[in-house]
Amino acid sequence: MKYGLDMHLYSSFVEKVELSVKDVFLLFSSVLDYFVSGVRAHHLAVAFISFEIAMRMGLDEDKVECLTDAALIHDIGLGGVGEGTIEDPDSIELDFHHCELGYKMLKKVPWADKYAEVILHHHDTWDGRSGSGAKGDEIPIGSRIIFLADRVAVKSYAEDIASLLNVRHSVLDYVRSKSGTYFDLDVVGTFEKVAEREAFWFSLDPKVVGRLVRENVPVRNRLFSVPEMITAYTLLADIVDFKSQFTRNHSINVANLAAFLAAKANFSEFDTDMMMLGGLLHDIGKVAVPSYILDKPGRLTQQEFNIMKAHPYITHLVLQSVPKFEFVDMVASLHHERLNGTGYPFHLTKRHLSIGARIMAVADVFSALYEHRPYRRDFKFDEIIDILMGMVTNGEIDMDIVDLIAKNRDEVVYLLRQEVLGKIIY
């Protein structure tokens, strides 16, 4: 197949992406913050407060790093629990479900296993009235710190930076009132010392805290390999796919199909891997779309469609902050663009849509139609090809890519039966 297009539309231009664990965790935190509506930069704030307490307590370097990592992803289980849940600081028992879910998600992934226990216990009360049944010293110290940091972060909302000093008294009163019941006395004592400095409170401003975490908090500098990144982003994809009861595995299907088509279109092995990451992350912006809209069987109202239309843009907002992720950002964020400019949200046309972005768009449509939805009948392979050919006729998608699917029918059908990622065929 000859595309006759410039290489810059074709290749990612970087030979390798070396993301540190910190980059990956910061990406997680920015995605997870869309779940915690009403509180901006929640995960960053919890990481910062946890770090301040842990340093004051004199925990060793390794423990501090592990704790701040865990704090950046502490609410990873929220996606499977409920809509835009802002944790209610006083519904301790109800919160256990997201801790358990987070634990299960992290347990599946070798590099994340060490955070699982801390996340499981991050809403445990010192007096043992929480879902896990643990109490006192049985609760990992990291969880005790994150629990207090989380409550402080939620209760420290202020309109502007100076007002943070006004809330500190009520936050301190709250923390002291729960000392020995919710919170470990030692952690409370340390927090009281941390809270003496005005600078600590000013640092909680959402515009400030991100920079502080990025610059000061030593999240380990180890680099992630591409396979580790793939497992990391499968976790993120799970978070999105959990949101909708009908789209389980959609991100995995798109990732598998996009990578397969990229390999068939002679992408390098590295770019093929990046296509897989792009597929996993393409719908990450759906974290900001309520489930009732994602799951709505009928036509969306104008307002609902407006919210829906924001999702690839939010994917872009999240991915553009990741170093060396320009290619992944581009292929992921442009999956609703169409060659004739009728897509959204950028209305790009053929000239500006790379082969990678075009493949992603087709992989998304194909996978969505191939997947079962309760509100419509299933489509068969040939019917989908007909629909795609109609889109080609309308000038929306690339004929060559539809051809690739049609020519590799058996492999594509086999690929979409897989519920796991992997280089199954190529």
Q: Which residues bind Fe ion (CB under 5 A)?
A: 75, 150, 283
Q: What is the DSSP string of 13-60?
A: S-S---EEHHHHHHHHHHHHTTTSTTSTTHHHHHHHHHHHHHHHHT--
95-102 contacts, C-beta under 8 A, 24 or more apart: 95/123, 95/131, 96/123, 96/130, 96/131, 96/132, 97/131, 99/123, 99/131, 99/132, 100/131, 101/77, 102/73, 102/74, 102/75, 102/76, 102/77, 102/78
| Shortest distance, position 74 Cβ to Fe ion, whole Å | 6
Residue 407: both structure tokens together: 């020519």
| Shortest distance, position 322 Cβ to Fe ion, whole Å | 19
Nearer to Fe ion, 19 or 99 (CB): 99
CB 328 within 8 A of CB 234: no
Q: What is the DSSP letter of 71?
A: H
| Shortest distance, position 363 Cβ to Fe ion, whole Å | 11
SS3 224: strand
**Which residue in 331, 328, 335 sits closest to 362, CA to CA?**
335
CB 343 within 8 A of CB 336: yes
Nearer to Fe ion, 19 or 353 (CB): 353
Q: Distance (Å, rounded) from C-alpha 361 to C-alpha 356?
A: 9
**Element containing residue 223 per DSSP (H, E):** strand 223-224
Nearer to Fe ion, 150 or 329 (CB): 150
Q: Distance (Å, rounded) from C-alpha 422 to C-alpha 426?
A: 9
Nearer to Fe ion, 75 or 273 (CB): 75
| Shortest distance, position 90 Cβ to Fe ion, whole Å | 13
Q: Distance (Å, rounded) from C-alpha 393 to C-alpha 400?
A: 12
Nearer to Fe ion, 19 or 257 (CB): 257
| Shortest distance, position 378 Cβ to Fe ion, whole Å | 20
Nearer to Fe ion, 150 or 398 (CB): 150
| Shortest distance, position 204 Cβ to Fe ion, whole Å | 14
Nearer to Fe ion, 22 or 316 (CB): 316
Q: Distance (Å, rounded) from C-alpha 344 to C-alpha 326?
A: 19
| Shortest distance, position 366 Cβ to Fe ion, whole Å | 13
| Shortest distance, position 38 Cβ to Fe ion, whole Å | 12
Nearer to Fe ion, 168 or 316 (CB): 316
